[in-house]
Chains A and B, each alone.
Chain A
Amino acid sequence: MASARDDQPRLTRRTLLKTAAAGALALGMPAIVRAQPDAIRIGHITPRTGFLGQLGEYGLNAAQMAVDETNTAGGVLGRKVELIAEDSVNPGVAVTKVQKLVERDKVLCLVGEISSASALAIAEQANRYKVLYINSGANSDELRGKNCNRFMFHVEGCNTMYTKTIGQWQKSKNLIKGAKWYMLTADYAFGHDLFRVSSRFLTENGGSVVANDMVPTNTPDYSAYILKIRQAKPDFVYINLAGADQTTFLKQYKEYGLPIPLAGGVMDTVPFWGAGIDSLSGHWQSLWYHGLTVPASQAFTKRYSDKHGKPPDNQAWGDYVAVKILLQAMAETKSTEAAKWVPYFEKGATFDILKGRKGSFRNWDHQLLQEMYVVKVKDKKDAKDKWDIFELVQTVPAANESFEVIQPTRQENPCTLA
């Protein structure tokens, strides 16, 4: 029973007040900037507070950058582009924010989100309004599976892609067959989904899960879990955690110095930067990393770093690419209507996504097919600065392989686009 527990705020007077205040602000704030009416408006909606807020900040910066670059180059279809940004907070607030963006700001499409629970809420609204939504940061397979819809596309990789990327590598190193894994899982929609796919991959390949502990989000202390892991003596520890929870766990795992190797179902760069290279170890999977040597990727990294004084993370990449894809769709279809973009995407249009190979959407579940990477934590002496934490080990799938190698199959992903 997967429950979306992450965003049910604890019922304290504080959260009540907070939600009320946020709601009042959201509904009552007059739009300060009255742009020229002929601008093309894109709604950006992502969490900028809470345990995913750190990532949201990067996403917004990058989305804004994509818009600014387009405007400098003369806009799209001869019109300026404008980004209207909202903090999605949680699924409940996200719904009102989408309504506001669509009904009041008249946005033509939506980009963003990181929380899988909120993304689902946004997707339902987008479908109702027939507004295109590109999910740039939520990972749950279910968004591409039983909850998929015609108007939602995914630049972010799904949980299965992350799992299979690291899984294929582990398989090639004989780390799975007969191995006992101890899992820690974030107790909300994303974590439940990730546990489902990561434990499935493991057992299909001859490994076993000795224990899985559900962990409430925002857990400040993991010592009790680490003691349990030590008693259980598994071959591997596998974390299905996200955001700040990843940072906290990584730090405390290092603190106890257990000799058991660590892996995880997803890897976001920001929490790993937050933990610092001293607290990191092992091999991880990455959707995009600023150390990638593709020229377009390095140029993007340089532009972002010059503007913000620090390199972009994978979330910045996701929002940047999502906005760029939207703008390309507008230019190529010469249309501002979602009904025209959907077939354009489904017919296999290709996009430069700052990676070795171009990306395109899979027509039956709207997942962006793309390369992912296995990365290894650097030796501290080789790190140039505090952001330089990984070296690239390999690209998955390899250049001669099909993208489908890491994708969920039709059986694994029951999507029917109505």
Chain B
Amino acid sequence: MPAFVILEHMANGLLVGAYYIVLALGLSLIFSLGGVVNLAHGAFYALGAYLAYEIQRRLGFAGAMVLSPLGVALIGVGIERLFIRRFYREDPGLALLFTFGLAMAAEQSLRLIWGATGLPFGIPEALRGQVFLGDFIYSRYRIAVLAVSAAAVTGCWLLLNKTSFGLVVRAGTRDPEMVRALGIALSPILTAIFALGVGLAGLAGVMSAPLAGVHPAMGTEILVAAFVIVVIGGLGSFWGVVWAGLIVGVVRGLTVLFYPPAAEASMYALMVLVLLVRPRGLMGERFERFE
């Protein structure tokens, strides 16, 4: 086994991890601030892919890349205002049940509107082909996915760390009662974060459509992976999710290389290992309200 083969698989794993991060980041944000376990996250991801399918036919892939996540975020605003906000101060179990129901309803709705069969969704012409670096091979499209993911993660980090909005979000994550006592309304912030979170899921959906196709069950399949990454990374930690996504991608890639049957299980094994050593995840913080 030459060293560069292992290197190639690690590098490839980083690429795979990139869009996992975009997906898991949204999940983590919604949970950290609102305490809502969003089991419908995968449904928003699937919705992003389906909207992209419709938009691409009219405005091309670049248009879909921008408009589809925005569309998903808007729908997220509606859902948050109508339903999710009722759960912030309730037992987390209730939100879990609600979003679970929402996910099932969403999957069936996709089936009713677009049919049960997958929809063909090709890689956009401009991004087809491969890039060779010495003996390494990369798909051009995946490099584009990596770039978009990096931009999305950077954007989120700036938003959370360099703006007054982010300051309120971080404060709200630590101690919502105190924020309210200071006379800051958390409600619009919670809406914005939910919209941002599901918008990120939508973006991940757009990016995966050319790779894995568009079909009604796609959200269900990816949801578990997103949760595992959030748990490994640790609640409330931005960088935890980023690291966890990359590590899961790399571990998965190496597992395929050395022992393919365990590719699926590698993620869970990793989670068990991390939780044994660090019960709150890699970089998880202590949350008074959840412990």
Contact = CB atoms under 8 A, between A and B. Distances in A.
B120 A227 contact: no
B213 A275 contact: yes
A27 to B, nearest CB: 18
Given A49-B217, A213-B256, A251-B211, A187 B261 contact: yes
Interface residues of B, number: 49
B211 A221 contact: yes
B118 A274 contact: yes
B224 interface: yes
Interface string B228-269: 000000000000000000000000110011001101110010
Contact of B263 (A219, A256, A276): A219
B100 A17 contact: yes
Interface stretch (A50-58, A118-126, A155-163): A50-58
Nearest to A218: B221
Contacts of B216: 53
B116 interface: yes
A224 interface: yes
A49 B8 CA distance: 36
Contacts, number: 126
Contact of B100 (A14, A48, A251): A14
Interface in A172-201: 187
A271 interface: yes
Interface string A52-67: 0110111000000000
Interface string B79-120: 000000000000000000000100010000000000111111
A48 B116 contact: yes
Interface stretch (B122-130, B194-202, B279-287): B122-130
Nearest to A184: B260
A225 to B, nearest CB: 6
A271 B119 CA distance: 9
A216 B137 contact: no
B191 interface: no
B23 to A, nearest CB: 11
B260 A225 contact: yes
Given A54-B116, A220-B221, A221-B16, A227 B213 contact: no
Contacts of A228: 256-257
A384 interface: no
B147 to A, nearest CB: 16
Given A224-B13, A274-B213, A214 B261 contact: yes
A12 B130 CA distance: 38
B36 interface: no
A203 B229 CA distance: 43
A73 to B, nearest CB: 29
A14 B100 CA distance: 8
Interface residues of A, number: 48
A255 B123 contact: yes
A252 interface: yes
Interface in A221-263: 221, 223-225, 227-228, 230-231, 244, 247-248, 251-252, 255-257
Given A219-B263, A220-B212, A54 B117 contact: yes
Nearest to A213: B260
Contacts of A231: 5
Given A273-B117, A278-B122, A257 B213 contact: no
B256 A224 contact: yes
B189 interface: no
A334 interface: no
B215 A276 contact: no
A270 interface: yes
Contacts of A307: none
A70 interface: no
A244 B118 contact: yes
Given A57-B116, A220-B221, A274 B215 contact: yes
Which of B9, B16, B222, B263 is the most central at the interface, judged by chain A CB atoms within 10 Å of its CB?
A: B263
A216 B264 CA distance: 6
Interface in A251-291: 251-252, 255-257, 270-271, 273-279
Given A218-B221, A220-B222, A256 B100 contact: no
A196 to B, nearest CB: 16
A79 interface: no
A143 to B, nearest CB: 23
A167 B149 CA distance: 44
User: Which residue among B13, B118, B211, B216 has the maximum number of chain A CB atoms within 10 Å of its CB?
Assistant: B118
Contacts of A257: 129-130
Contacts of A256: 130, 137, 139
A386 interface: yes
Contacts of B264: 216, 219
A187 B222 CA distance: 19
B16 A223 contact: yes
A8 B223 CA distance: 17
A415 interface: no
A417 interface: no
A276 B121 contact: yes
A271 B117 CA distance: 8
A7 B130 CA distance: 36
Interface string B1-35: 00001001100110110000000000000000000
B139 A274 contact: no
Contacts of A230: 137
Q: 6 smallest A-B Cβ distances: which pairs? A: A276-B120, A274-B118, A216-B264, A224-B256, A57-B116, A213-B260
26 contacts: A14-B39, A49-B217, A53-B116, A53-B217, A54-B215, A57-B115, A57-B117, A213-B256, A215-B260, A216-B265, A219-B263, A221-B212, A223-B12, A223-B142, A224-B253, A244-B215, A244-B217, A247-B212, A248-B211, A251-B211, A255-B123, A255-B142, A257-B129, A273-B118, A274-B117, A274-B119
Interface of A: 10, 12, 14, 17-18, 48-51, 53-54, 56-58, 187, 213-216, 218-221, 223-225, 227-228, 230-231, 244, 247-248, 251-252, 255-257, 270-271, 273-279, 386
Given A251-B211, A255-B128, A256-B139, 19 more contacts: A14-B224, A54-B118, A57-B116, A213-B260, A214-B261, A215-B263, A216-B261, A220-B208, A221-B211, A221-B212, A223-B16, A224-B263, A244-B215, A247-B118, A247-B215, A248-B213, A251-B210, A257-B129, A271-B118
